[in-house]
Amino acid sequence: MINYEKLTAFNPTIYGEFTNRLGQKVQFVEHPTKGDECEVIAVFHEFKKAFYTEFFELGEIDELNGEYEVLLVDGKLIHGYEL
């Protein structure tokens, strides 16, 4: 998990936004200092949580009901195939 307050204070570049199958709004952002050399970060503003996604581009993490769709369950980031 990433420090939500620290991350948002940097106003990171937004790659895109998505609402997953659980109705959670997810914002995908670039790491504010490492840029595209770092994994895409998933930000759940409603829960004040941010996580590295393990992916370097959106591709499959923002596909509704997809295998790699990002979801926040019990305070942890999981992918669709883990449900």
Q: Which pLDDT belongs to residue 11?
A: 96
Q: Which pTM was predicted?
A: 0.94
What average pLDDT score do residues 35-58 get?
96
- The whole-angstrom separation of Cα 21 and Cα 48 is 19
Note the pLDDT tens digit of each residue in 7-30.
Answer: 999 999 999 999 999 999 999 999
What is the tally of structural domains in the chain?
Answer: 1
Domain holding 61, by residue range, is 4-82
Q: Which pLDDT belongs to residue 59?
A: 87
Question: What DSSP assignment string belongs to 34-61?
Answer: TBTTS--EEEEGGGTEEEE-S-SS-TTT
What average pLDDT score do residues 65-73 get?
97
Q: Among all chains, which residue has been given the structure tokens 């997810």?
A: 26
Q: Which pLDDT belongs to residue 72?
A: 98
Q: Which pLDDT belongs to residue 36?
A: 87
Contact between residue 79 and residue 42 where contact means Cβ atoms under 8 Å apart: no
